[in-house]
Amino acid sequence: MLTVAPDIEVLARFGRALADPIRCRLLLALREAPGHPSDLAEALGVSRTRLSNHLACLRDCGLVVAVPVGRRTRYELADGRLGSALDNLRAAVVAVEADRTCVDADEKGCC
């Protein structure tokens, strides 16, 4: 059963999803159009296994949904507004120091 996450949890899930560059690229690809795993893996230049793991993370975070299409599965953003959110984040200006990195940059993990 799907439920609606509270706003702070939505932000935390979005942040965890964006913590990995491949997931960022995957979300941007899905922002352009829904896709099948094999096509997405080829477009991103990653193995299907690796892509599958990232899709599972994004599904667990609630950002993408799997849509059965015959014997295949197509993935798309769970909400069209996520595309606008990605656009706004890409346009945001952040203040960074050249010699500093994010504290969590080395931590891997997901939702």
Residue 35: predicted pLDDT: 97
What is the CATH classification number for the domain harbouring 56? Answer: 1.10.10.10
Under 8 Å between Cβ of 67 and 34: yes
Note whether residue 38 is domain-resident: yes
Q: Which residues of the chain have pLDDT under 50?
A: 106, 111
Give the pLDDT confidence of 13-33 residue by residue, as tens digits.
888 889 999 999 999 999 999
Q: What is the structure's pLDDT at 70?
A: 94
14 inside domain: yes
**What CA–CA distance (Å, rounded) separates 69 from 62?**
20
Per the domain annotation, does 15 fall within a domain?
A: yes
Could you tell me if residue 105 is inside a domain?
A: no
Nearest to 25 by CA among 101, 110, 90, 95: 90
Q: Is residue 83 part of a domain?
A: yes
| Domain span at 16 | 7-91
> What is the per-residue pLDDT for 111?
46
What residues have CB less than 8 Å from 88, skipping those under 6 apart?
A: none
Domain-located, residue 104: no
Please count the structural domains in the chain: 1
Phi first, then psi, for residue 60 (nearest 5°) are -60, -35
Decide if 54 is inside a domain: yes
- Indicate whether 102 belongs to any domain: no
Residues 6 or more apart from 16 whose CB is under 8 A from it? 57, 61, 109, 110, 111
Q: From CA 46, how far away is CA 41, in angstroms rounded? A: 5
